[in-house]
């Protein structure tokens, strides 16, 4: 008899809780209580993963494998390494944060809201733990349905249906391309096992086609320029919780590191200059457009495009430091963007207005809120001591090691992010109280204070002690980069890898 592992509990506790809320919760109060219990319960296996994870190993851990569709070579195959470990924890924490943040703001169809979020959280855990291509695709696609419902049903704006449809079709077209690539890989390996796909020696032309198919799917979820245009609409029109979840869960960057680089390495190196160029465009273009925004949520959307440009830049430099920085940047910006979006959500829930010009002098009436918002703004800028600094610094180090001018162009993000973030903070928080709406604002209560306090701890924990995270990430990144070297591109065994002890790669023992 098969007994489920901790990873199965990680996936199916939120899914089953969500279905229970949708089916049996008779009232809004009971729906909130059951959903919160499910979110707390799903946090337990994530804590077990982190506490029992072996940081010295690059191998998959907590592996579970059961035949699913054996005639097609598909299996229920789960596992985590140092890359996926922290994404599973971030997913569990994000779900709990969103439930606390929406405790009072969601008043219609409460059971459906929390049920959809729990099912979505379970699907995200499945994405980060799947080691079978078909299983990954099933979870990847299943996540579209609750996200579409959340944006279209509980959105804040009149164009929420348009925003939901735009997001859905952008994601769907990319997913269909990815499905074609998965089927081709199955015809070559006769299995959907990712390890078998890594061992394939594909010709260059098939690698190019598969690369383009995978990038079509994952670039939407990063999002990369120019397929980023759905994000401002979702931020502005969708519910705060959906925007926070999209900001925190970096499926696109994770998919590129897990699937694109190791499975089609020659094509990845061939297209690296183009991907780096698109990343630089995203960094500079996203920052400049953010400077021109008058809506806080759209400004944060373009800020996300710029910051995630650093992630794809770090990945396609094929540098160990840059790639570790890209993973840390995904984790860090997931927390920071979520915190910033929750800050805008607090103001929007009180005034129903997201325009920057509608505010001024908020610090006079909401001093506690303004203090937290200042910390999160500094993390968005990349101030040393915050999580925003670590990932950006490592990516820029890797970019400069790759090419000085690429690193110099990417470093513009530090200047431009300071410009649009501090400009927004100044206009919203400082100065005299602008109008009666601002004068009547009430400061955050105990629930919101604890919520923002928890996120502040995460921001400072990553910034002050990044070794906790890079110790687990480093060996797995080295393993992924070793698989991404390609048939004609030798590794550089003398290149150093970042960690707190300044070890070289040759000093690390393989897992």
Q: Give pLDDT, residue 500.
A: 36
Give the Å distances, CA to CA, from 454 to 134, 448, 450: 36, 10, 6
Q: Which segments of 60-132 does DSSP mark as H helices, in order?
A: 82-101, 110-129
Using pLDDT thresholds of 50, 70 and 90, give the confidence band for residue 210.
very high
Q: Which pTM was predicted?
A: 0.83
Considering its fold, how many domains does the chain have in total? Answer: 1
Q: Give pLDDT, residue 242.
A: 63
Contacts of 342 by beta carbon, 8 Å cutoff, 6+ apart: 97, 101, 240, 244, 451, 452, 455
| Structure token pair of residue 62 | 């907590």
Tens-digit pLDDT profile for residues 19-36: 888 887 667 778 888 888
- 359 pLDDT higher than 80: yes
Using pLDDT thresholds of 50, 70 and 90, give the confidence band for residue 375.
very high
Evaluate whether 249 touches 298 at the Cβ level (below 8 Å): no
Q: Give pLDDT, residue 503.
A: 38
Q: Give pLDDT, residue 249.
A: 57
Using pLDDT thresholds of 50, 70 and 90, give the confidence band for residue 507.
very low
Residue 470 Ramachandran class (φ > 0 left, ψ -120 to 50 alpha, else beta): alpha
Using pLDDT thresholds of 50, 70 and 90, give the confidence band for residue 292.
confident
Query: Which of 100-109, 249-258, 407-416, 447-456 has the lowest average pLDDT?
Result: 100-109
CB atoms within 10 A of CB 146: 23
Q: Which segments of 190-264 does DSSP mark as H helices, in order?
A: 194-199, 204-221, 230-237, 240-248, 251-255, 261-263
- 468 pLDDT higher than 80: yes
Start-to-end CA span in the chain (Å): 30
| Structure token pair of residue 73 | 């070579």
DSSP 203: -
Q: Is residue 399 one of the residues assigned to a domain?
A: yes
Q: Is residue 256 one of the residues assigned to a domain?
A: yes
CB atoms within 10 A of CB 178: 23
Q: Give pLDDT, residue 490.
A: 40
Using pLDDT thresholds of 50, 70 and 90, give the confidence band for residue 496.
very low
Contacts of 121 by beta carbon, 8 Å cutoff, 6+ apart: 14, 18, 39, 42, 91, 92, 94, 95
Contacts of 336 by beta carbon, 8 Å cutoff, 6+ apart: 376, 379, 380, 386, 387, 388, 459
Q: Is residue 472 one of the residues assigned to a domain?
A: yes
> How many whole angstroms separate alpha carbon 22 and alpha carbon 12?
15
Q: Is residue 392 one of the residues assigned to a domain?
A: yes
> How many whole angstroms separate alpha carbon 406 and alpha carbon 403?
5
Q: Give pLDDT, residue 280.
A: 92
| Structure token pair of residue 219 | 């670039």
Average pLDDT over residues 498-511: 36
Q: Is residue 47 one of the residues assigned to a domain?
A: yes
- 390 pLDDT higher than 60: yes
Q: What's the whole-number average pLDDT of the chain?
A: 82
Q: Is residue 106 one of the residues assigned to a domain?
A: yes
Residue 69: its H or E element: strand 61-69
Q: Is residue 1 one of the residues assigned to a domain?
A: no
Q: Please list, residue by residue across 210-228, b when 16 or more beta carbons sit within 10 angstroms of its beta carbon and e when fewer do.
A: bbebbbbbbbbbbbbbebb
- 374 pLDDT higher than 90: yes
Tens-digit pLDDT profile for residues 142-162: 888 888 888 777 777 677 787
Torsion of the alpha carbons at 331, 336, 338 and 344, rounded to the nearest 10? -170
Q: Is residue 475 one of the residues assigned to a domain?
A: yes
Whole domain around residue 246: which residue ranges? 6-507
Tens-digit pLDDT profile for residues 103-135: 777 777 888 888 888 998 899 899 999 999 889
| Structure token pair of residue 473 | 């990430």
Tens-digit pLDDT profile for residues 263-278: 888 898 899 899 999 9
């Amino acid at each position: 008899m098969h007994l489920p592992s901790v990873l199965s509990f990680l996936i199916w506790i939120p899914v089953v809780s969500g279905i229970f809320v949708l089916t049996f919760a008779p009232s809004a109060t009971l729906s909130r209580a059951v959903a919160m219990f499910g979110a707390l319960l799903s946090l337990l296996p994530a804590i077990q993963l982190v506490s029992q994870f072996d940081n010295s190993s690059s191998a998959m851990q907590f592996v579970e494998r059961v035949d699913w569709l054996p005639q097609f070579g598909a299996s229920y195959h789960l596992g985590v390494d140092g890359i996926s470990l922290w994404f599973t924890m971030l997913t569990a924490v994000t779900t709990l944060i969103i439930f606390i943040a929406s405790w009072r703001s969601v008043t219609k169809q409460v059971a459906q809201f929390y049920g959809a979020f729990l099912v979505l959280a379970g699907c995200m855990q499945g994405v980060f733990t799947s080691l079978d291509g078909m299983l990954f695709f099933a979870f990847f696609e299943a996540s579209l349905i609750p996200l579409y419902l959340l944006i279209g049903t509980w959105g804040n704006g009149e164009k929420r249906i348009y925003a939901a449809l735009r997001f859905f079709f952008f994601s769907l077209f990319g997913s269909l391309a990815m499905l074609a690539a998965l089927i081709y890989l199955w015809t070559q390996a006769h299995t959907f096992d990712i390890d078998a796909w890594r061992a394939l020696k594909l010709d260059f032309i098939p690698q190019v086609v598969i690369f383009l198919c995978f990038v079509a799917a994952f670039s939407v979820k990063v999002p990369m320029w120019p397929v980023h245009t759905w994000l401002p609409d979702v931020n502005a029109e969708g519910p705060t919780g959906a925007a926070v979840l999209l900001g925190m869960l970096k499926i696109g960057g994770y998919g590129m590191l897990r699937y694109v680089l190791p499975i089609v390495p020659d094509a990845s190196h061939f297209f690296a200059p183009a991907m780096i160029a698109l990343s630089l465009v995203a960094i500079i273009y996203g920052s400049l457009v953010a400077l021109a925004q008058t809506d806080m949520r759209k400004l944060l959307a373009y800020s996300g495009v710029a910051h995630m440009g650093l992630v794809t830049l770090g990945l396609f430099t094929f540098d160990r430091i840059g790639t570790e920085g890209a993973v840390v940047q995904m984790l860090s910006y997931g927390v920071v963007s979520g915190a910033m979006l929750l800050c805008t959500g607090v103001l929007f829930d009180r005034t129903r207005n997201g325009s920057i010009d509608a505010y001024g002098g908020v610090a006079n009436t909401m001093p506690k809120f303004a203090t937290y918002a200042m910390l999160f703004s500094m993390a968005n800028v990349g101030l040393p001591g915050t999580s925003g600094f670590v990932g950006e610094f490592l990516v820029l180090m890797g970019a400069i090691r790759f090419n000085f001018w690429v690193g110099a162009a990417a470093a513009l993000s530090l200047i431009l992010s300071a410009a649009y973030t501090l400009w927004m903070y100044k206009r919203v928080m400082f100065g005299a109280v602008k109008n009666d709406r601002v004068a009547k604002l009430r400061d955050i209560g105990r629930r919101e204070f604890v919520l923002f306090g928890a996120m502040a701890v995460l921001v400072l924990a990553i910034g002050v002690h990044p070794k906790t995270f890079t110790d687990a990430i480093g060996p797995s990144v080295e393993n992924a980069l070793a698989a991404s070297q390609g048939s004609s591109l030798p590794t550089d065994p003398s290149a150093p890898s970042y960690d707190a002890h300044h070890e070289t790669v040759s000093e690390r023992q393989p897992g």
